[in-house]
Amino acid sequence: MFFERPDSGEIAVLVHIDFYDQTENYGPEEFIELSISAGADPVAVVEGSRQRPDPRYFIGSGKLEEIKDIVLREEAQVVLFDHALSPSQERNLESHLNCRVLDRTGLILDIFAQRARTHEGKLQVELAQLQHMSTRLIRGWTHLERQKGGIGMRGPGETQLETDRRLLRERIKAIQKRLDKVNSQRDQSRRSRSRSAVPTVSLVGYTNAGKSTLFNKATGAEVYAADQLFATLDPTLRRLDVEQIGSIVLADTVGFIRQLPHRLVKAFQATLKESSEADLLLHVVDCADIARDDNIKEVDAVLEEIGANEVPVLKVFNKIDALETGEPRIDRDENGKPYRVWVSAKEGIGIGLLQQAIAELLGEDIINDKLVVPSDQGRFRAMLFEQGAVRSEEYDDLGRSVLEVSLPKKDFMQLLARAGISEDQVVAA
């Protein structure tokens, strides 16, 4: 597959190989989008199939020469592989092709580095990049490896290599320490929201499914949104008023992608914790994408990896404006519980239905009621105030405290247990 000669940007040759032993093989379309998102100008996509990767070059000798011919003819500056390459395979390919070689992980890391805006986001990306780089340091010192023996010539390459590795280890430790501090601050914020009985709803989904557009439409925020992969990385939190529930916190998080590098998942652990500790996940799906079912599986896999697979999920089928018969609606299960909402974030269609579904799902686990607390249960009353769950208080003719409360049911049950009383001892007004 060839493209027109680009006017600007790094000229790139893309490589996509299908393997017989893989249960699922995907086309190169998404990888082409990734390369363009990184600022590359692909001039050709080399495709092929193999039984298994070649241990030295990943590809066979025939494909290797085909790529080399294209690199020379097109004067390509980089060859991008839609696969994970070992450090030795990258070195061997660069030596044979005489140009830079980057695998899928390196390409995604480069995109993340370009898109990170906040201090935390930049730290997370740098950590992942340094961890990835630490296994590939030797590539930069191959000229010193050739110096074998001779007076004054023993081991300068290894000495430089060890120095770089030590500097990398120190930098990684420093970044990890700063990220631990950020993580601690996020935990404190989450505890504060929990004490205030404010539910958290987190947006998750495949990259470019329209999460940020939906976030902006629902909250009136101005998070950067564009029709490209990984348009936004940094998490954003906004308060949103939902009828019958009150205030909730809506969190926009980084999009997922097929074969998302494990180092990135680990580096963004503090950010992704917003999803694993949310009260509800909104799984945003591009319903017009022909690969939507596969994308849903990929997101589910990442949610399981970060420990968010037990959080209740409401699927949001976005971009119904791209369907011929797309209509906003709520799909319910056999118990009448919402499990999917059809919307168009771009056109603002179905946002009211989405809020209705959120209210129904959160309302099952949130107590919004008036409680009559007897005078001898002052400890329980104090706990409710300490939790930030009391909206108003008045007294009845018997001098009992009548409290209007709002808090998650699990917190309510914990308070009852701590106060040593049963639910029927607190009378509903």
Query: What's the CA gap between 332 and 356, in Å, rounded?
Result: 12
User: Is 320 marked as a binding-site residue?
Assistant: yes
Q: Is 315 annotated as a binding residue?
A: no
44 annotated ligand binder:
no
Give the whole-angstrom CA distance, residue 48 versus residue 61.
12
Picking from 299, 255, 296, the residue whose alpha carbon sits closest to that of residue 112 is 255
210 is in an annotated binding site: yes
User: Known binder of ligand: residue 207?
Assistant: yes
- The reply, when asked if residue 339 is annotated as ligand binding, is no
12 is in an annotated binding site: no
The neighbour count for residue 9, using CB atoms within 10 Å, is 14
Check the annotation: does 122 bind a ligand.
no
Cβ atoms of 77 and 109 closer than 8 Å: no
Token output for 70: 């294209």
62 is in an annotated binding site: no
Residues 203 and 217: their CA atoms lie apart, in Å, by 13
- Was 252 annotated as part of a binding site? yes
Spell 351-387 as b/e; 16+ CB within 10 A means b. Answer: bebbbbbbbbbbeeebbeeebbbbeebeebbebbeeb
**What distance in Å separates the CA atoms of residue 309 and residue 35, rounded to the nearest whole number?**
31
212 is known to lie in a ligand binding site: yes
On whether 208 is known to bind a ligand per the annotation, the reply is: yes
Is position 231 annotated in a ligand binding site?
yes
Q: Is 175 annotated as a binding residue?
A: no
Residue 344, annotated as binding a ligand: yes
Binding site for Mg(2+), by residue number, is: 212, 232
Binding site, by residue number, is: 205-212, 230-234, 252-255, 318-321, 344-346
Binding site for GTP, by residue number, is: 205-212, 230-234, 252-255, 318-321, 344-346
